[in-house]
Chains A and B, each alone.
Chain A
Amino acid sequence: MTYRLTAIAAALIALQAGTALAAQELNLYTTREPKLVEPLLKSFTDSTGIKVNTIFLKEGLPERVEQEGEASPADVLMTVDIGNLVDLVDRGLTQPVESEVLEQAIPENLRDKDGNWFALSQRARVLYAAKDLDLDSFHYEDLAKPEWKGKVCIRSGQHPYNVALFAAHLVHHGEDATRSWLEGIKANLARKAGGGDRDVARDIMGGICDIGIANSYYVGLMRSGAGGPEQQAWVDAIKVVLPTFENGGTQVNISGAAVARHAPNRDQAVQLLEYLVSDEAQRIYAEANYEFPVKPGVAPSPVIADMSHIQADDTDLTRIARERKKASELAEEVGFDN
């Protein structure tokens, strides 16, 4: 009887094809798109011999890791947004990492002071404007000005990209000012808030609106031709203006990573993080997704050279992340998406 049970157990283990058993493997849970991290992981595997198993999730990354508990095979948790990262830390799903390599490569404001999370790339929320518009500088606050009535396009006010922008406004100006700012933008919308960031460019081309807010890297993606000739036409119809807050810089968000609390392959996990901030990986990041490198001295892709003079807002990212809830509620209060 015991023999048979042992056989069953052995079979079960064999089925499991050793996720946590092999020493030269590591498991990455990520909300980043697979195509984006693949070139990085391939290059990592080529140089270290460590195989990376990935699972790409959308929502529910923290829930899954939390429920898997100590048995979780997760080693590295990688997210697209500072909010999700801070969330992972707040739920106790990460562990502190001390690494000179990471601390030297990443500026202090782009990593957790206790080593719980590290930024890997940055992007900005910028203004897309119709080409013929006489507009060279812009403040986020201007979005609410009456002169833009019926001329603004933007995606859902509940989308994490916008929530982060609203949260940054909250940190700068407080609740009441943010509420009336959101009301002003809402009154200026040319169409319902919705669609994606690229639709802002397409809608400007289609004459639906004159200006809109969207992420910087989409400009690179559209220009690169990766999205086909149509998207090139969209991006040709717009010019990009780097907006700032009246009392600050351009709003940036980060993608980043953390080592999981129960990481079975902790050393390999740290190795991956250190690799991701190497010059080589930072360059791949910049080329593959047109984001801004976090490591000083690595240049962004030439495709978005016109944005390389960006002055990022230096407001503490963790503070912004903690205002997300309030920002999302304010957007609901003013009926931003209705």
Chain B
Amino acid sequence: MTPSRTFQGLRRSAGAGWQAAAVLVAALVLLPVAALVLFAAQGSPGLWAHLFDNVLPVAARQTVLLLAGVGVIVAVLGTVTAWLVAACDFPGRRLFGWALLLPLAVPTYIIAYAYLDLLHPVGPVQGAIRALLGYDSPRQFRLPDIRSMTGCILLLGLVLYPYVYLPVRALFAMQAGNLLDAARTLGTGPVATFRRVAVPLARPAVAGGTALALMETLNDIGAAEFLGVRTLTVSVYSTWINRSDLPGAAQIALAMLAIVTGLVMLERFSRKRQRFSGGAQRSQPLRRARLQGPRAWAATAVCALPVLLGFVAPASYLIYHAGQRLHYAGLSPRILAEAANTALLAALATLVTLALGLVVTGAARLRPGRMTQAAARVSTLGYAMPGTILAIGLLPVVTLIDRRIAAWVQDLTGLSPGLLLLGSGAALIYAYAARFLAIATSGIEAGLSRVPRSLDHAARTLGRSPGQVFRQVHVPISAPALAAAGLLIFVDCVKELPATLLLRPLSFETLSTHLYGEAARGTYEDAAIAALIIVAIGILPVVVLARAIRR
């Protein structure tokens, strides 16, 4: 046996544990999907003819329109603002560096509620316009209704663009320096540098971020339904709720999942040949170009607009209403307990999700091959499903485990322990992890792709095991990407509603379930306080992250 063969053999056995772990994680995500397949197989044969005639043409068209619109907005807004903040100097740059993340803290259903109020004919904005123009009744003058496809696209785009801004900016900050310097040295102007170097360089990060934003869009039910846009998700919903037809809903959901998976694969295939892996030498930080005069103010305006519209306006609205509520009724102590529940649950779920994400991406890196690649792909499926549908698929999985444990405990002690996973909230953490694993893997992958393979080889040659390479080389280098992914997951867990409603234990409320309870009853002022706390919790990690990425 030659030394190199021994090395190969060692490598294979050393990575086997990682592979097995990754497959296990993928299986955890696949289980609820499998349960949905079982539900779907229970049939309702007449459904599809009706759907094809009456529902799908409209739903598909609306979904495509919505996705296209939101996709263009988040990609352009996210890339341009990331570029301005990373590569240029203009008034307010340091402020915008973190402020551009703020809309992330605003859930889609909250921005929809807020703007419907703000822009309503009897609301403050149109009221002011009428006062200015001298009209005294909305019957004489009013603006177009926000309840429209255009309104939905704009509102979703305004709160989802940080999914692009965050990774693109991290990318510019981490490794763009050398290439951009080279371009400038060769005499390329700033706009041409942006177009010909920065944009192609950022493409994987833009694509990854846009994909996340689009999946959020696809999952959204609150905003779309509220604004009168009938997407496929809304259709799944009404099929299930109004027809009591879970098999039918599961069938549409699986069809959607297939389409989304196809799109994701297409996107991956399209950039398969592009592999950006910087040289092993240290990357230069980007030198910022100082903008002057009107250009500088234009940059300020471009960065200010999404922050004002995506965060300041809805947050002010919430602050006003929360203030009204405090004034009339004071603060319920319960809301503090709910905030604590929310934070604890989201923190635990974030840690679990990141750990699982590290397992999956680590395995794909340390033991590249069909199995680990497949595991990495499968682990992103949960994100492509509406939260409620995922939760419905999880129910039988969780209760099956629960019943097994209960039977075992009863055999042993004669006492019935009830349902442990559902009763303890562990089911919720499972749901969050299955749902948001895609954020973890795509974020960590983006970080890992910056670590040159030559470093792996060097470390292995120096006698490190794959696990040690991962811990000592990969994780430290991709720490910023890890932190970014953790932030997104945490905020998403705080905002998550449908799975939380369905899978939480008895007498356990979070901020989002509280908010839903109030909104369902229409007591908006109470909801405003909970909504404001959700937004505030979402800001905390934004601040922490902003410090981390400043440099």
Binding site for B on A (CB under 8 A): 2, 5-6, 9-10, 12-13, 15-16, 19-20, 27, 33-36, 53-60, 62-64, 67-69, 71-73, 83, 87, 156, 158, 160, 163, 191-199, 202-203, 205-208, 218, 221, 226-228, 233-234, 324-325, 327-329, 332-333, 335, 337-338
Contact = CB atoms under 8 A, between A and B. Distances in A.
Contact of B121 (A2, A207, A221): A207
Given A57-B502, A194-B227, A71 B412 contact: no
A207 B413 contact: no
Contact of B238 (A13, A15, A158): A158
25 contacts: A9-B413, A10-B413, A13-B415, A16-B417, A20-B416, A33-B518, A59-B237, A59-B388, A60-B392, A63-B246, A71-B403, A72-B419, A83-B242, A83-B244, A87-B244, A158-B234, A158-B238, A195-B228, A206-B120, A206-B138, A228-B525, A325-B243, A327-B242, A333-B53, A337-B230
B240 interface: yes
A72 B541 CA distance: 38
Which of A2, A15, A56, A325 is most buried by chain B, counting CB atoms within 10 A of its CB?
A: A56
Interface string B109-136: 0000000100011100000000000000
Given A16-B424, A194-B147, A325 B245 contact: yes
Contacts of B526: 35
Contacts of B403: 69, 71
A158 B230 CA distance: 10
A233 B391 CA distance: 40
B265 interface: no
Contacts of A228: 321, 324, 328, 524-525
Contact of A71 (B138, B148, B416, B521): B416
Contacts of A33: 517-518, 520-521
A121 B52 CA distance: 39
B417 A13 contact: yes
Contact of B225 (A194, A218, A226): A194
A71 B402 contact: yes
Nearest to A54: B507
Nearest to A218: B522
Interface in B14-69: 50, 53-55, 58
Which of B116, B122, B226 is most buried by chain A, counting CB atoms within 10 A of its CB?
A: B122
Given A63-B246, A228-B525, A207 B138 contact: yes
Which of A6, A19, A36 is most buried by chain B, counting CB atoms within 10 A of its CB?
A: A19
Contacts of B422: 68
> Which 4 residue pairs spanning A and B have beta carbons closest together?
A194-B228, A206-B121, A207-B139, A192-B228
B189 interface: no
Given A15-B420, A64-B502, A9 B395 contact: no
Contact of A196 (B53, B405, B418, B522): B522
A112 B127 CA distance: 51
A59 B516 CA distance: 12
Given A6-B413, A19-B418, A156-B228, A338 B523 contact: no
Contacts of B238: 158, 328
Contacts of A233: 122
A36 B522 CA distance: 12
A58 B412 CA distance: 36
A73 B419 contact: yes
A38 to B, nearest CB: 10
Contact of A60 (B230, B388, B413): B388
Contacts of B54: 329, 332-333, 335
Contacts of A64: 395, 502
Given A6-B412, A195-B228, A328-B238, A27 B506 contact: yes
Chain B contact residues: helix, strand, loop or mixed: helix
B137 interface: yes
A88 B58 CA distance: 32
B203 interface: no
Contacts of A192: 145, 147-148, 228
A254 B138 CA distance: 36
Interface of B: 50, 53-55, 58, 116, 120-122, 137-139, 142, 145, 147-148, 225-228, 230, 234, 237-238, 240-246, 321, 324, 328, 388, 391-392, 395-396, 399, 402-403, 405-406, 408-409, 412-413, 415-420, 422-424, 498, 501-502, 504-509, 513-514, 516-518, 520-526
A208 B121 contact: yes
A333 B49 CA distance: 12
Given A9-B413, A73-B418, A205-B122, 17 more contacts: A5-B412, A16-B423, A19-B418, A20-B418, A33-B518, A36-B521, A55-B508, A63-B246, A71-B419, A202-B122, A206-B120, A207-B142, A208-B121, A227-B524, A228-B321, A325-B243, A335-B54
Contacts, number: 200
Contacts of A6: 412-413
Which of A197, A207, A324 is most buried by chain B, counting CB atoms within 10 A of its CB?
A: A207
A110 B413 CA distance: 45
A87 B504 CA distance: 22
Which of A36, A72, A335, A337 is most buried by chain B, counting CB atoms within 10 A of its CB?
A: A337
A195 B115 CA distance: 12
Contacts of B145: 191-192, 208
A113 B177 CA distance: 77
Contacts of B243: 324-325, 328-329
A167 to B, nearest CB: 10
Contacts of B524: 227-228
Contacts of B328: 228
Contact of B505 (A55, A59, A338): A55
A55 B507 contact: yes
Contacts of B139: 207
Contacts of A83: 242, 244
Nearest to A60: B502
Given A35-B517, A191-B145, A206-B120, A329 B506 contact: no
Contact of B405 (A12, A324, A325): A12
Nearest to A2: B412
A178 to B, nearest CB: 15
Contact of A9 (B122, B409, B507): B409
A6 B411 CA distance: 10
A58 B420 contact: no
Contacts of A36: 521
B504 to A, nearest CB: 7
A68 B498 contact: no
Contact of A68 (B241, B405, B419, B507): B419
A328 B47 CA distance: 13
Contacts of A73: 418-419, 423, 506
B526 to A, nearest CB: 8
Contact of B521 (A13, A35, A69): A35
B406 A71 contact: yes
A203 B116 CA distance: 11
Contact of B417 (A2, A12, A191, A196): A12
B509 A34 contact: yes
A153 to B, nearest CB: 11
Given A207-B137, A332-B54, A12 B409 contact: yes
Nearest to B234: A158
A55 B506 contact: yes
Contacts of B230: 337-338
A291 to B, nearest CB: 12
Contacts of B416: 20, 71
Which of A5, A199, A208, A324 is most buried by chain B, counting CB atoms within 10 A of its CB?
A: A208
A19 B423 contact: yes
